[in-house]
Structures are given as structure tokens and as C-alpha cells.
């Protein structure tokens, strides 16, 4: 009896210390702070979705906002199924390692082992595909992608779109994010496992982890219960239906749908050996120059974090795992506003009592000020997203909009010279402060300058 009492006492002490440690990290008024932060995004129709925050196996905050379907007035809930875009890559990478764990392939295998006639397939390995170091160009960047994405495609047809394109660099030379890599990994999964990508994930990941609301959208137009419709920004505060996308073109790199609650189950499983053994999980999160296998690996607030976010027409998502603290930030949204891309980082800042920038409602500006910014501006060759592109800034009925290579985004004024780009989430600053602007700076972390041309 004495031994039992001592054991229970140690357990109680451990739980008490763990609870105290958790309280030291997470603010007591977490829910109030999250609500205050999120509401301006909701009010501006820039966030519609669900949020889940957890610490040490305990859900601290869980709430849904906005509409799963605006036309039918169906609200979102924590059980709403959202397309999770590139968070899908974390599952694809795990499936590859699961096959390696079973001795069915190796990450050192050349691509030629699975597609014998793939150009340079003897030089490209599964490891290169997992870490975006293969040199294979990103299929999303091809001119024909938009049209092809409207039709259901097999993986072989998707691969054919980039198979004969020249490599951008020698395999292993550097990192360059390319969705094509994960199309190829899905193909390898199918070839090795002998069944479809979605079927393999369901049988070997979703069912064992009781992820009953997660699946693969194979583009067959099958009904998916409780699935949210996707929306994109329209004007200064409205939304409209996202362009049609057949999700088959994203098989392996962004074709999955899930809920915040199922993603929480995924987070918990990655701390245990239920799916992958400890050595295999370590490979999943090894830092290969900022990217592991399906995850970005970095430091944030001087804490180790493995993270992946997603962005596809109508949807955004984020999963940040502070692995030493056992704290997770999970977000899934059916609004394609770039303003929400910083939300997961900001929510993490709230959890850790770090600094973050609260969203500001647009300020009112004199129309004469807006007129000074109207014109055409051209970026230099250093503009990562579209070197040398010409953008047009023009007046709309209620403010300014910017046309970049046919894509229109509305600019939400934050001050006399600074605006938030509603579609991509960047900051646009015009200069000089007085008179007709001579240039604009578009910042997404790094800053890019465009000079006035007209």
C-alpha cells in the first residue's frame, strides 16, 4: 500500500508540474485574445473557417467562423470538411516513409526504378522529391495549367505535363518548391502499393487514426458530406465563388480534405509510434535546408516548429507544431484571402505571449490621394513571383485595385501611403508621400519595387 501511495503521489506531482508549466506558457485569457484578434478578419469577410489550438494533448481553443456555404446560409463548424491544399504533402510524405518502414522502397531509390523512361530519372531520387531538391519545374506555373486543371486527369497525365520539361537545376543542388515532386510521389505510392493514392491513405493512415472526416478528392465529382464551398475575395469586402478546379491535378500535393479535429488527430499521432516508428518519424522532421519530408522545419520565437500551410483556389490552411512545447495551431478556411496567411503565426504569438500585429480595418482616404496612385508600374527582374511584370493600379467604385498579369486584387488602405493586398496578403506602399507616386513597393517579407511607367 505504501508503494502504491508513493506511486500515486509521484503521478499527481508530475501532473501538477505539467499543468503549472502549461499555465506559464499559455495566457489565462487565451480565448478572449484569440477572439479579439480573429473578429476583424471575420468582419471584413477575409476569414471563414475553423481554428483549433492545443497544448500537451488538451484542446485549449476550438471555434468555427463564417459560412461553409454563403448561398445556402450554412455556417462552418469544427466538423466542416475543408480542402487542406498543401497540408496534403505531410500525408504523402508519411505514406512514402510507411512504405520504406515496411521494406517496400527506399528514399534513396532513383525515380527511374518506378518510371524507367523518366528523363534524368537515374539522377533524381525519392529523397529529392520529398525535399523539393529534384530540379523538376512546378506544374502549377505552366501556362496550360489553368485550363488542364478543369478536367479530371490521371496521375500519368499530370506527370506528362512536366515529364519532358528541362530540369531547373541538377538534382540535389538546391531547394525549389515544386508541386510536381508530390504528384510523382503519389504515383510511386500507387505503383508500390498496388492501389490508388486515396485508397492507400485511407486504409493505412485515416482508418488507423480514426480520421473519419478526411479523404482524397479524386476529381470524380462524388459528393463529400459537410464539405465547405470555396470562396475568393471580391471588391473591398465581398466574396464570390472560387474558380472551378478538378482536384485530380493536385493528387499527392494538395488533393485532401479534412477537419480541424481530424488534423488534431494527425498531430497527436506524430508524437506516437501508432503509425511510424521513432526512427522513421525522425526522418520526417529532419531539416534538409529548411524543409523536411513534407514539412517546413524552422525556429519560431526561438522554438522548434514543424509546419505546413496550404493555399488552393477557395481555401487556405495551416498546421504549426511546436514540437518541444507540444503546442499546435490548426487552421482551415474556405476563403482565399492572403490576409489570413499570417494568422497561424499570429495565433502562435498569442499563445506564447509574443508580439504580433493585430489586423486593422481599412481607413478612409481622400479620393484625390487615391488618384495619385493610379497608373502603370513595372517590376524588375528580381521580382521572384513574375520577373518584369507590369501592374496596373486603377480606381474602383470604393477604392483602389491592382491588376497583375490578369489577376485583380483590391487594396485595403492602412494609412495615406500603405495598403494591404487582399488577395495575396502583401503590403503595398506608394512613394513619395506627397503628389503623384513614382513607385510602389510590394512586400511579402522581402520587398520588391516597381517603377511608374505611365
| Interval 112-152: pLDDT, tens | 999 999 999 999 999 999 999 999 999 999 999 999 999 99
Neighbouring C-beta atoms of residue 442, cutoff 10 Å: 23
171 lies in the same domain as 278: yes
**Residue 398: phi, psi to the nearest 5?**
-130, 15
**Residue 279: phi, psi to the nearest 5?**
-65, -40
Q: How many angstroms separate the Cα of 72 from the Cα of each of 68, 75, 213, 227, 333?
A: 9, 9, 22, 13, 17
- Which residues lie across from 447 on neighbouring strands? 443
343 lies in the same domain as 401: no
244 lies in the same domain as 133: yes
390 lies in the same domain as 294: no
> Has residue 139 been placed in a domain?
yes
Looking at residue 309, which CATH number applies to its domain? Answer: 3.40.710.10
344 lies in the same domain as 257: yes
197 lies in the same domain as 259: yes
Which of these three, 301, 327, 351, is where a domain ends?
351
**pLDDT computed for residue 445 by the predictor:** 78
CA separation for the pair 327, 331 (Å, rounded): 14
**pLDDT computed for residue 425 by the predictor:** 87
Which of these three, 298, 325, 351, is where a domain ends?
351
**pLDDT computed for residue 15 by the predictor:** 40
**pLDDT computed for residue 435 by the predictor:** 82
CA separation for the pair 12, 19 (Å, rounded): 10
> Has residue 54 been placed in a domain?
no
CA separation for the pair 161, 22 (Å, rounded): 50
> Has residue 343 been placed in a domain?
yes
> Has residue 260 been placed in a domain?
yes
> How many independent structural domains does the chain possess?
2
> Has residue 58 been placed in a domain?
no
Angle at 247 between CA 149 and CA 256, to 5 degrees: 150
313 lies in the same domain as 385: no
In the sheet that 49-55 helps form, which strands lie side by side, from edge to edge? 58-65, 49-55, 327-333, 315-322, 303-312, 296-300
Query: Which residue in 153, 164, 156 sits closest to 118, CA to CA?
Result: 164
Q: CB within 8 A of 125, min separation 6: which ones?
A: 107, 108, 109, 110, 111, 171
CA separation for the pair 62, 78 (Å, rounded): 7
Which residue positions in the chain have pLDDT lower than 70?
1-25, 433
Q: CB within 8 A of 443, min separation 6: which ones?
A: 426, 427, 428, 429
Note the residue count of the chain. Answer: 454
Structural domain boundaries, residue 378 = 367-452
198 lies in the same domain as 283: yes
> Has residue 39 been placed in a domain?
no
With helix as H, strand as E and coil as C, how does 435-452 read? CCCCEEEEECCCEEEEEE
334 lies in the same domain as 371: no
> Has residue 56 been placed in a domain?
no
Which of these three, 298, 316, 351, is where a domain ends?
351
The beta strands (E) that lie in 7-57 are given as: 49-55
438 lies in the same domain as 304: no
**pLDDT computed for residue 24 by the predictor:** 53
142 lies in the same domain as 193: yes
Sign of CA dihedral 194, 198, 203, 204: positive
Looking at residue 425, which CATH number applies to its domain? Answer: 2.40.128
- Cα 418 to the center of its chain, rounded Å: 26
Could you tell me if 414 and 406 are in contact, meaning their C-beta atoms sit under 8 angstroms apart? no
Helix residue spans in 51-207 (DSSP H): 88-101, 126-130, 145-148, 155-162, 179-193, 197-201
**pLDDT computed for residue 136 by the predictor:** 98
> Has residue 21 been placed in a domain?
no
**pLDDT computed for residue 1 by the predictor:** 44
238 lies in the same domain as 112: yes
CA separation for the pair 259, 309 (Å, rounded): 14
| Interval 5-61: pLDDT, tens | 444 444 444 444 444 444 456 888 999 999 999 999 999 999 999 999 999 999 999
Amino acid at each position: 500500500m505504501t508503494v502504491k501511495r508513493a506511486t500515486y503521489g509521484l503521478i499527481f506531482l508530475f501532473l501538477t508540474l505539467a499543468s503549472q508549466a502549461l499555465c506559464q506558457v499559455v495566457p489565462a485569457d487565451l480565448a478572449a485574445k484569440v477572439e479579439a484578434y480573429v473578429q476583424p478578419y471575420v468582419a471584413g469577410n477575409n476569414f471563414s473557417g475553423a481554428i483549433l489550438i492545443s497544448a500537451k494533448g488538451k484542446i485549449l481553443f476550438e471555434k468555427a467562423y463564417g459560412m461553409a456555404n454563403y448561398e445556402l446560409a450554412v455556417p462552418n463548424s469544427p466538423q466542416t470538411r475543408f480542402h487542406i491544399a498543401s497540408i496534403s504533402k505531410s500525408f504523402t510524405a508519411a505514406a512514402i516513409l510507411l512504405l520504406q518502414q515496411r521494406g517496400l522502397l527506399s528514399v534513396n531509390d532513383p525515380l527511374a526504378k518506378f518510371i524507367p523512361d523518366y528523363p534524368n530519372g537515374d539522377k533524381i531520387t525519392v529523397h529529392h522529391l520529398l525535399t523539393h531538391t529534384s530540379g523538376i519545374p512546378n506544374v502549377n506555373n505552366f501556362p496550360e495549367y489553368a485550363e488542364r486543371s478543369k478536367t479530371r486527369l490521371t496521375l500519368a497525365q499530370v506527370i506528362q505535363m512536366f515529364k519532358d520539361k528541362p530540369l531547373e537545376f541538377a538534382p540535389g543542388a538546391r531547394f525549389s518548391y515544386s508541386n510536381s515532386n508530390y504528384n510523382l510521389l503519389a504515383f510511386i505510392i500507387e505503383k508500390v502499393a498496388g492501389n490508388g493514392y486515396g485508397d492507400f491513405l485511407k486504409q493505412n493512415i485515416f482508418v488507423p487514426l480514426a480520421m473519419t472526416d478526411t479523404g482524397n478528392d479524386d476529381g470524380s465529382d462524388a459528393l463529400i458530406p459537410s464539405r465547405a464551398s470555396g470562396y475568393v475575395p471580391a471588391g473591398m469586402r465581398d466574396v464570390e465563388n472560387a474558380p472551378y478546379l478538378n482536384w485530380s491535378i493536385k493528387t499527392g500535393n494538395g488533393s485532401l480534405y479534412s477537419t480541424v479535429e481530424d488534423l488534431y488527430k494527425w498531430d497527436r499521432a506524430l508524437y506516437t509510434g501508432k503509425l511510424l516508428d521513432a526512427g522513421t518519424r525522425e526522418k520526417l522532421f529532419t531539416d534538409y535546408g529548411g524543409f523536411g519530408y513534407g514539412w517546413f522545419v524552422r525556429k519560431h520565437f526561438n522554438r522548434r516548429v514543424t509546419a505546413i500551410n496550404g493555399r488552393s483556389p477557395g481555401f487556405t490552411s495551416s498546421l504549426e507544431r511546436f514540437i518541444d512545447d507540444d503546442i499546435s495551431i490548426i487552421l482551415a478556411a474556405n476563403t482565399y484571402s492572403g490576409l489570413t496567411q499570417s494568422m497561424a503565426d499570429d495565433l502562435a504569438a498569442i499563445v506564447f505571449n509574443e508580439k504580433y500585429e493585430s489586423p486593422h480595418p481599412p481607413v478612409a482616404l481622400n479620393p484625390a490621394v487615391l488618384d495619385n496612385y493610379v497608373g502603370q508600374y513595372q517590376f524588375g527582374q528580381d521580382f521572384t513571383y513574375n520577373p518584369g511584370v507590369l501592374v496596373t493600379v486603377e480606381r474602383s467604385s470604393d477604392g483602389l485595385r491592382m491588376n497583375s498579369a490578369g489577376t485583380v486584387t483590391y487594396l485595403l488602405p492602412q494609412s495615406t501611403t500603405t495598403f494591404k493586398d487582399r488577395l495575396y496578403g502583401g503590403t503595398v506602399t506608394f512613394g513619395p508621400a506627397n503628389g503623384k507616386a513614382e513607385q510602389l513597393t510590394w512586400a511579402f517579407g522581402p520587398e520588391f519595387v516597381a517603377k511608374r511607367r505611365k
